[in-house]
Amino acid sequence: MTAVCTCELARRSDAETISNMSRWLIEAGLTPMWVPERVLWHLRDRESTVLVARDQARLVGFAVMQFMDTTAHLNLLGVIPTRQRSGIGRQLLRWLEASAVTAGTFLVKLEVREGNFAARRFYASMGYSEAGVIEGYYQGRDNAVRMNRDLALTT
């Protein structure tokens, strides 16, 4: 199914919703790190993009990417459960990748919880390769799988 939603830069008023969604979609079982103040910091940071997907006025997905000199790091990506598998995650990630390419940044890196097989399959389908495991990356409680994609190879 194709997503019918709009990708746009987040507003300050989205920070609390993004924080809440991160807590239950991504940080389950961990001490929440993506508090509203941290989301607001990324909204202000000129080297970060906080992106949301909206269906009408409803926020249905979000992503945070930080742009460094030669790499971009995907910090967060989430879609509400009732709208998963409808192309919204792909739409958000492709938007950010296009921004990275425009900025001349071709290497995208991310970490995902080792047991999050759905997300690992999602990223694999988006062209990302697994590049190793980081033991205890998530507060010593969970391992991370590092994944990356070289956009120069396909664009």
Quick one: which H or E segment has residue 98?
Answer: helix 88-102
Q: Residue 66, interface with ligand COA (CB under 6 A)?
A: no
**Could you give the CA distance from residue 10 to residue 125 in angstroms, rounded to a whole number?**
26
Binding mask 9-48 for ligand COA (x = CB under 6 A): ----------------xx----------------------
**Could you give the CA distance from residue 51 to residue 92 in angstroms, rounded to a whole number?**
7
The span of 28-36, 79-87, 96-104, 129-137 binding ligand COA (CB under 6 A) equals 79-87
**Could you give the CA distance from residue 120 to residue 69 in angstroms, rounded to a whole number?**
26
Tell the residue number behind the tokens 């047991």, with chain if given: 115
Query: Residue from 15, 52, 59, 119 that binds ligand COA (CB under 6 A)?
Result: 119
| Minimum gap (Å) between residue 40 Cβ and ligand COA | 19
Q: Residue 129, interface with ligand COA (CB under 6 A)?
A: no
Q: By C-alpha distance, which of 118, 115, 113 is closest to 147? A: 113
109 beta partners: 73, 148
Q: Residue 125, interface with ligand COA (CB under 6 A)?
A: yes
Q: By the criterion CB under 6 A, which residues form the site for ligand COA?
A: 25-26, 76-79, 84-90, 112, 116, 118-119, 121-122, 125
